[in-house]
Structure 1
C-alpha cells in the first residue's frame, strides 16, 4: 500500500463528465490498495468568472481580503462535487477546505505562503478508509483569516501536503501526459521527457513553463517529494521530477520555455555612487515587485543607465514606485517597454558543453531578430526579444537543439488552471 497525493487542475474537473471521470480514476486507485489524498482546483473558468463578477460590481479594485473570500469558493464547489461523484461510486470520502485540512499561511492576501500544515484530520479520515479531498489554492492565518496562495496555488498545496503527510508520491494530473521539451501546443513534435531534475524543472517553471508552478517545485526539492506529471485524460506513463535524472544521449538542452508576461523598465541618468541600486531595488521589494534580468550600461560623466525586467502586470506599479523615489535617488527619467517576451533554454548538460548559448544567439539572429537583454546561469540562457515571432523562435530553437521527434505530442484539453 502506498500513500498518494493526486492533484487535478481546472480543466480536469471542468464539467460534470470530466468530474465523474476523475472520480472513477480516484476510486480505481483507492481500490487497488493505495490511500488517496486528492487536491482539486476550481472547475474550468470559474476563477476568471468570479473575477469578472467583481468588475461588474465596482470599477474600484476590491479589497484583497474580500477577493480571497470570493475566490476560495471556486475550490469549495469542486471538492464538494467531486466528493459526491466518488460517493456515488460506493467509496467513502470526505472533503475539506484548505483550513479544515490544517493549511496555515502567512497573513498576506492574494499570494500567501504556507507556514505550517497540521494534517490530523486527514490522517484520521484515511484511517477510517476514506478518500480525502482537499481544496487547493487556499489556507488560513493563525488569526483565522482566509487566504489564497496565488497563481499555481493548487500545485503548491498538493506538494506541501505530500511533504507534510510523507506521501510516497505526488501525482500532478493535467491536460498533457508529462513534461515536454517545450509547449506541445506550439511545437507538435515536442519531446516528452521520462524524467527531469528538480533544478531543471524549477528553471523551466520560473521561465514560463506553465505545467508546474515554481513554488511547488521548490517544495518538492526541499522535502524530496517525488513528483509525477501525467495526464488525466489517459493512463500513459508521466514524467518523474526528482533529484537526479538520466541524461538522454546527445541531448544537452532539455527544454525551451517562454514568458509573455514581461516588461522592461529603464532608469536613465543615475549617479554612479554606492547605494543607488540598493535604494531602487529595496523600494521595489517593499512593494512586492519581483525583478528579473538586470543590465547596467557603462558610466558617462558620472552617470549610468540600467534596465531590468518585471512582470508586465507589475509594470505600472513599478514605474509609480520609481517615480516616488526619483528625488531621493536622483535619476533623470524612467521609461518602460511592452510587447516583449523572454525565451529560454534549460539543460543540466549546458554547464559542460561549450557553444550552447552561441547557437541560441545565432538562431535568433538568423530570424532577423534583435536580442534586447540576456541572462545566464549554469543550466539556462534567457533572451528578451520582441514578441511578434515567438512561436517561430521556439520552433527554430527546438529544431536546432535536436529536440524534434517523429511523434505528435498528446494534448488532452485546454491549458490547466492553477
Structure 2
C-alpha cells in the first residue's frame, strides 16, 4: 500500500473531541487505500505545563530527565489517538520514539535524527495494521535515553518519517488552512497560495512565518518530500491547503511570492572597531559560541582615525533576536576584555522589525529591490539595514512601521492577485 504521513499539531489534538475529529481524517485516508503514519504533538498547552513542572522542581535540571518528562505529552496523545481509531474500527497502535526506534544524537533538548529503521512498523503493516500513531518530538539516544528534538520537533519528525518510508506526501494539519502571501492578521488582502517552492518556504520560515518549522522545511527540501499544509478544522480534499514542493512542479512563479515579518529584532552596532584582517571572525566567533543567532551584517567604509594615522577603523552592525541581546552584549564585552578586539561604543536598538520579500522569480527579474525601496519611501519608512540573497530582500525598519510596510509591499507586488 502507498504510505501517507499525517501530522497533527497541539491545537488539532487539544482535547478528546479534536482527537476524534483528527481520527476521522485519518480514517478517510485509510479508506482511500493508504497505510498511514500519524505523527502527533502533545495536547495544546501540555508541553509548557510539563516544562513548568521541571523548572519548578529543579532550576539546574538534568537535561536527560527534562527530556523524559517533556516527551510524555506526545506519548499521551499517541495512545489516545490509537484508542480512538480502534473504537472506529481502524487497526491502529501507538509508537513511542524508542519503540520505532527513532535514533537520534545525544544532544538532549535539541537532538537530531540519525536513522529511522522501517522494519518494526513495516512488520505491523504486514500484519494488517493500517495506522501507526507515532509520538512526535522525541527519539532515543545511543545510550538508550529518551531525547527531544526542540521547538517544532513534531513537524521535523513527520518529514523524517515521510523520507524514511518514501511516503507519497506529508500532510501537516494545523489551525490555519494553508500558507498565505503574508500574515492575514496584518493584511486583509493576504491570499492563500496553492503551491510554494521549498526554497521560498524555507526563507519565509526562517524570516518569521510560523506555519512550518525551519528544520522540517530543510529536511523536506533535501529529501524532496512533498508537504501539504491544511486545516484540521475544515473539510478537506486533494486540492485543499498549500503544497510545498520542488520548483519544477510550479509552472510559473510570481516575482515575489510572499512578505514575511519578524517583530522581535534588535540592531547592534560596534562603533569604531579597528579595521584589520580577521576582525569579523574575532567579533562573530564569540557570538556564535554564545549561541547568538546573527542575521543581517553590515560593515561601514573604513576610515583613518586621524590624517596620517596608519590604523583604520570601521563600524560593524548586525541584527539578532531581542531575547539574545543580553547574551550578545556579554559575549562582546568578554571578547574585548580578552584582547580579541577593541571598540569605542556598543549601540543597541531594540525597537526595530525585519520585513522581507521572498520569491524564486527574483532570479530572473531585475528591479525588485528598487520597487521595494520606493514603496517604503512612499510611506515615509526609513530603512536602517539591508540584506539580500538570490530570492530574498530583507530590511530593518522602526518597529512602529512594520504593519504599514507589510501592507505597502503586499500591494506594490500585487500579491492579492493570482
| TM value normalised by structure 2 | 0.91
Say whether 1:304 aligns with 2:314.
yes
Secondary structure of the residue aligned to 1:123 is helix
Deviation at 1:134, TM superposition (A): 0.9
Stretches of structure 1 that go unaligned for 5 or more consecutive residues are: 407-418
d(CA) in 2 for partners of 1:189, 1:62: 47
Aligned to 2:405: 393
Name which of 369, 390, 393 aligns with 1:381.
393
**Equivalences for residues 12-411 of structure 1 within 5 A:** 12-57=12-57, 60=59, 62-130=61-129, 131-234=131-234, 235-236=236-237, 237-244=240-247, 245-247=249-251, 251-300=254-303, 301=305, 302-327=312-337, 328-332=339-343, 333-404=345-416
Aligned to 2:309: none
Deviations 1:318-371, CA, capped at 9 Å, x for gaps: 221222111322222434321322111111111222221222222222322221
**8 A contact 2:275–2:313 mirrored in 1:** yes
Q: Residues 181, 3 of structure 1: CA spacing in aligned structure 2 closer, same or farther, 3 A cutoff?
A: same
**8 A contact 1:207–1:344 mirrored in 2:** yes
For these two proteins, the number of residue pairs brought into alignment is 404
**8 A contact 2:263–2:402 mirrored in 1:** no
**8 A contact 1:190–1:405 mirrored in 2:** no
Deviation at 1:39, TM superposition (A): 0.5
Deviation at 1:55, TM superposition (A): 4.9
Secondary structure of the residue aligned to 1:329 is coil
Aligned to 2:308: none
Deviations 1:118-152, CA, capped at 9 Å, x for gaps: 23222122222221011111122211232221222
Q: Residues 142, 54 of structure 1: CA spacing in aligned structure 2 closer, same or farther, 3 A cutoff?
A: closer
Deviation at 1:256, TM superposition (A): 0.9
d(CA) in 2 for partners of 1:168, 1:204: 24
Q: Residues 62, 215 of structure 1: CA spacing in aligned structure 2 closer, same or farther, 3 A cutoff?
A: same
Stretches of structure 2 that go unaligned for 5 or more consecutive residues are: 306-311
Deviations 1:67-112, CA, capped at 9 Å, x for gaps: 3223212211211111111111121211112222221222222222
Q: Residues 61, 270 of structure 1: CA spacing in aligned structure 2 closer, same or farther, 3 A cutoff?
A: farther
d(CA) in 2 for partners of 1:48, 1:364: 39
Q: Residues 6, 191 of structure 1: CA spacing in aligned structure 2 closer, same or farther, 3 A cutoff?
A: same
Aligned to 1:412: none
d(CA) in 2 for partners of 1:321, 1:106: 28
Secondary structure of the residue aligned to 1:99 is helix
d(CA) in 2 for partners of 1:354, 1:145: 53
After superposition, the CA RMSD in angstroms is: 2.0
Deviation at 1:268, TM superposition (A): 2.5
Deviations 1:386-415, CA, capped at 9 Å, x for gaps: 222322221221111111259xxxxxxxxx
Secondary structure of the residue aligned to 1:158 is helix
Secondary structure of the residue aligned to 1:291 is coil
| TM value normalised by structure 1 | 0.91
d(CA) in 2 for partners of 1:345, 1:208: 12
Deviations 1:252-296, CA, capped at 9 Å, x for gaps: 210111122322222223211111211222222223332211111
Deviation at 1:57, TM superposition (A): 4.2
- Which segment is superposed worse, 305-314 or 279-288? 279-288
**8 A contact 2:283–2:341 mirrored in 1:** no
Which has more radius of gyration? 2
Q: Residues 102, 382 of structure 1: CA spacing in aligned structure 2 closer, same or farther, 3 A cutoff?
A: same
